[in-house]
Amino acid sequence: MTKLLRLAIVSVLAIVTAVLGTQGSAVAAETAYNSKRQYLSADPPGSAPASCMQRSIYLANGTYEWRQFLGKYTGVGTTMRIPAGNYTWRDCLYPIDGADGWDYRHQTELYRQGNPGFHLDGLWGLTKSTDYTWGSFLDPDF
């Protein structure tokens, strides 16, 4: 009888430890990035080629902050609810004539086959020509 009681106590302790351990170890979803580091001219010719990057990503159902960035600056963005699924995520920088103070048009797309997708359009004006990390991020709100 003592052996059976010990086994029951050990079993209960194992279950309590497992339950408490899983509750305490919950981790929020991590921010995902679609980014690239490259040299950008502060006064690019409008005829210069576009720079694009693309990746596939699985997103869980939920609310996300989606925003463009260049260097330490964040740009155009939105908070939106995204259904679960596999998506294609694409960012492109298009050089434009900087006469109006803008040097690059930044287009970001997030779509999955058979759906219209989501789009961000932003503009960047650079103060100096140097290497920049640019792209967009998805920050889950769960």
Confidence at residue 12, expressed as pLDDT on a 0 to 100 scale? 34
Domain range enclosing 63: 30-140
Considering the chain, what is the average pLDDT of its residues?
84
Residue type (1 letter), 40: L
Number of domains in the chain: 1
pLDDT digits (tens, 9 = 90+) for 13-55: 333 333 333 343 445 689 999 999 999 999 999 899 999 999 9
pTM comes to: 0.78
Identify whether 4 is part of a domain.
Answer: no
Identify whether 39 is part of a domain.
Answer: yes
Identify whether 3 is part of a domain.
Answer: no
Q: How many Cα atoms within 13 Å fall on the side-chain side of residue 83?
A: 7
Count the Cβ atoms, other than its own, within 10 Å of residue 70.
21
Identify whether 15 is part of a domain.
Answer: no
Confidence at residue 38, expressed as pLDDT on a 0 to 100 scale? 98
Identify whether 21 is part of a domain.
Answer: no
pLDDT digits (tens, 9 = 90+) for 77-131: 999 999 999 999 999 999 998 778 899 999 999 999 888 899 999 999 999 999 9
118: Cβ–Cβ under 8 A, 6 or more apart, which residues? 66, 80, 82, 109, 110, 111
Identify whether 13 is part of a domain.
Answer: no
CA 23 to CA 132: how far, in whole Å? 40
Residue type (1 letter), 57: I
